[in-house]
Amino acid sequence: MWRFLITVIRRDLLLAARRKGDWLTSQFFFVMVVSLFPLGIGADPEQLRRVAGGVLWVAALLASLLSLQRLYADDHRDGSLEQMLLSPQPALILALGKATAHWLIFGLPLLVIAPLLGLQFALPPDVIGTLVISLAIGTPILSLLGGVGAALTLGLRGGGTLLTLLILPLYVPALIFGAGAVDGILAGMGAEAQLSLLGAFMGLCLLLAPWVTGAALRVSVD
């Protein structure tokens, strides 16, 4: 089971290395959206700090949506998804492997980029640290829930629009807790409560999302 999981992750990472444009688009989108806000709302440091958490988190959600539509679509198109589902391993292992690979390709680079973008919003070092921690906990949620939406809309016409409508409401708790952690530090109230809730939400997603994704994949392929 572990060997199958590692094989799925390694395969997706190798494919991403060969097609850098697919995942670099999401990173470039994230940087552009975040960088445009200081130009639009002005250079007042206090105002920039107030909106920083929400802006960075909303940009991360939107960038995640760009990379989800092809999470299973290419494998479904060339028949490899059906072959993987025919293996003796549970479909939830496949779903967990795909979500993990998606996070390594999409979410992990955000943790590197976010501190640099936080400087544009005049965030102090402790707030930037909290921002990175919230993204480290929250971005796996985006990959896990995104896998559910990608599996449910697999093969459907207009699946990209339907995927957005299905997933965005599920992302709302992560957005509230992640941005709230940054705002809590700025307000001097601490971020422990928000980060704890975000961690609990991630644990819930880790328990449930692979099961739902695996079941949805079998229905979509059948």
Q: Which residues have CB under 8 Å from 222's CB, separation 6+?
A: none
Q: Which two tokens stand for residue 109?
A: 């680079």
pLDDT at 191: 84
Q: How far apart are CA 104 and CA 114, in angstroms?
A: 15
pLDDT at 48: 87
pLDDT at 79: 78
| Number of residues assigned to the chain | 222
Q: How far apart are CA 136 and CA 57, in angstroms?
A: 12
Range of the structural domain that residue 120 is part of? 2-221
pLDDT at 219: 82
Q: Which of the residues in the chain have pLDDT under 70? A: 21-22, 157-160, 222
Q: Which two tokens stand for residue 172?
A: 């709302």
Q: Which residues have CB under 8 Å from 193's CB, separation 6+?
A: 184
SS3 121: coil
pLDDT at 12: 86
Q: Is the dihedral of CA 157, 93, 170, 143 positive or negative?
A: negative
pLDDT at 201: 95
H and E: helices and strands count for the chain: 10, 0
**100 CB-side CA count, 13 A:** 16
Q: How far apart are CA 215 and CA 195, in angstroms?
A: 30
Q: How many domains does the chain have?
A: 1
66 phi and psi angles, rounded to 5 deg: -65, -30
